[in-house]
Amino acid sequence: MKEIIKEITKFLNLRIPIGSKDVDFTIKTVLFLIIALILAKYALRCFKKFSTSKLQNEDKNKFDTIFSFASWLVYLITFSIALSSAGVNLSAILVASSALLIGVGLALQTFFQDIISGIFIILDKSVHVGDIIELDGKVGRVEDIKLRTTRAVTINNKVLVIPNHKYLTNSLYNWTQNGTTTRESVKVGVAYGSDVVLVKKLLLQAADEHPKVYKHPAPMVVFENFGDSALEFKLVFTLGDSFQALIPQSDIRFRIDELFREHKISIPFPQRDVHIIKE
């Protein structure tokens, strides 16, 4: 029996060559690391189950995102403590891999910016799943918020993957943070000499006839300017789904053109008078 224990001990103390004489890495150290990481895994699983038992679904998603990042930190700390407890000289490992760590740190700079930004997004609740956002001129409905990226779907059903650090470095427009309804508009110009009262009436009619335009608040017409070639008007109305605003706006433009033709109101194109002076 003593011989068996002696052989097992000898096997566990067998040194594993890792390219550095200053680091004593044995099979016992590997087994100790595996056991420590397994225990950490089950401890995290129990903690997650206990913490999320009474949370709402939206809060669970936020917790899962932060928990995934915290889990890696716990594994890293467990790994370091396990190595130190097994008698491995951590300072020797750090010195031996210092050049590699510097390179990895530089490469992961943006990666950690994304992670920190993701935590800020989740904590300050500036963006939620289902929100319609505009960033860098691109508009999409948020489908998923992860620790490093946010996934949104555009009106053309294209997936937009946004690195989270862009929220800190760019202006973000949240179309639906104040609610799902938004104010949209259609601009049109009419020829000088047109009956502006009739123009206003027809514009309001085009908006009122559309089934997706809200009656309250009622649509309104703004006389914006006396343009170079036209009298400029803006029809303002409220929609319940701004993500699909392109379709109602198109329908209203079709109807405006139809009504203007019926009432002999012309939409002018830019014109310039050229005067030739002969000497």
What is the tens place of the pLDDT at every residue in 72-102?
778 777 877 776 766 666 565 555 556 555 6
pLDDT at 10: 64
pLDDT at 79: 75
pTM: 0.55
Same domain, 254 and 236: yes
CATH code, domain carrying 64: 1.10.287
CA distance 225 to 178: 30
Same domain, 17 and 101: yes
Residue by residue, DSSP assigns 50-88 as: HHTTT--HHHHHHHHHHHHHHHHHHHHHHHHHHHHHTT-
Same domain, 20 and 36: yes
pLDDT above 90 covers a percentage of the chain that reads: 24
CA distances (Å), origin 159, targets 86, 144, 215, 230: 48, 11, 34, 40
Residue 276 within a domain: no
CB-side neighbour CA atoms (13 Å) of 79 = 6
Please compute the mean of the pLDDT values over residues 262-268 and round it to a whole number: 92
Going by pLDDT thresholds of 50, 70 and 90, the confidence category of residue 1 is low
Same domain, 152 and 238: no
What is the tens place of the pLDDT at every residue in 141-150?
888 887 778 8
CA distances (Å), origin 259, targets 210, 212, 238: 14, 19, 21
CB 166, CB 136: distance < 8 Å: yes
Rounded to 5°, the CA angle 156-159-165 comes to 125
Same domain, 49 and 131: no
Same domain, 23 and 86: yes
pLDDT at 57: 66
Same domain, 150 and 62: no
pLDDT at 200: 96
On the question of pLDDT at 122 being above 80, the answer is: no
CATH code, domain carrying 245: 3.30.70.100
Domain with 236, as residue range(s), is: 182-262
Pairwise pLDDT comparison (61 vs 234), residue with the higher score: 234
Same domain, 75 and 140: no
Pairwise pLDDT comparison (248 vs 271), residue with the higher score: 248
pLDDT at 183: 86
Q: How many domains does the chain have?
A: 3
On the question of pLDDT at 23 being above 60, the answer is: no
